[in-house]
Chains A and B, each alone.
Chain A
Amino acid sequence: MNHSPPSLESLLEDLSSPVHEPVRLGVLMLLHLNPVLAFSTIQKALGVTSGNLNTHLAKLEDEGFISKEKGFVDLRPRTLVFITDNGRTALVGYSGLLKQVLITINPSVT
């Protein structure tokens, strides 16, 4: 049986998941490296507006990839964002696919 490597188009098709959107990918990657981050820190790090970030966080929360905790520090509201096990699994899966795509585009990528 001939197992030809998957085409670039099919790989790109496979990438289509809630993680694929760049801001969501950035959020999950940041939370993978830092298990908890403040909303404002994520906003600064990714350079996005709060409205835009809120929309993406809501989507990730719906998917069960992150959880949020609202609280107060010195009477000022603060939202902490955590990654869930589902979020880590989704990110690892996505990273593997992304690596395959990059290797297909440029085989010298390791």
Chain B
Amino acid sequence: MSSIERLQPHIDILERVEKYQHKAEFNRFLLILTIAGFVAIIGGWISYIFNRFVGVDPTFFIFGATGDPNLAPDKEPILFLSVWLVYLVPILSAMTFSTGSTGIINWNKAYKRIGILAFFLFLLAHVIIVLMGVTNSKLIPIVWGTLVCVGFIVSSRLLFLETNNSKVRTGLIVIGVIALILGLLVAIIVSVELAQLLFCSILGVILSFSGIISYYTVGRLPSKN
């Protein structure tokens, strides 16, 4: 038996480990995508209900829109950003401490880059909103849609390099383009409350369901064969 034949079982088992690791990392990404979607849906509804019935938006959720001009992002930038951090906490917790069938999270290079990119785009969006200094501006949904689109397209590229999975790449680009279209559509809708609800709810539903569907189609652990 040649040397390489003697090592073949070891090479086979290491390939299984590598395959598992790719699936595990991808599933963690999907988990975060799904949580982000749920956060968007909940935030959108809270924002809508308060704007509609109370007149003050305690969430500042998406466009920096608020029923009370004294609570506008340009008047209260620290409050605006700190309220947003409350939304980020579940996502950051999922990124850092998530446990599941695969164990404690262990981010590889691509996912770290995606995390840093997402955080950078989030801060950029809010700096733009604060700098614009406008309440209920119609330009803000376009800013959001564009940045979400950029984030998903870059993520798809990074994930494609990591997993070589064209389904994942296409799926993420589609989500990004939908976000951009939603941003543009929302910008031409008259009612800000409705615009917030639409953007958050539709994008949230897309994120959550795409996360769940991707898990069941491409993200499941390899079978025994």
A residues touching B (Cβ–Cβ < 8 Å)? 8, 12, 20, 22-23, 25-26, 29-30, 33-38, 40-41, 44-47, 98, 101-102, 105
Contact = CB atoms under 8 A, between A and B. Distances in A.
Interface residues of B, number: 24
A12 B2 CA distance: 11
Contacts of B14: 25-26, 29
Interface stretch (B15-23, B78-86, B143-151, B208-216): B15-23
Given A36-B103, A37-B103, A45-B20, 18 more contacts: A8-B3, A22-B13, A25-B13, A30-B21, A33-B21, A34-B103, A34-B104, A35-B103, A40-B101, A41-B221, A45-B16, A45-B222, A46-B13, A46-B20, A101-B3, A101-B7, A105-B3, A105-B7
A34 B24 contact: yes
Main secondary structure of the interface of A (DSSP, over half): helix
Contacts of A22: 9-10, 12-13
Contacts of B20: 30, 45-46
**Top 9 A-B residue pairs of the complex, sorted by shortest distance between their CB atoms:** A45-B20, A26-B13, A22-B9, A34-B103, A22-B13, A47-B224, A37-B103, A29-B17, A36-B103
Given A23-B13, A34-B24, A12 B6 contact: yes
A37 B10 contact: no
Interface of B: 3-4, 6-7, 9-10, 12-14, 16-17, 20-21, 24, 101-104, 106, 221-225
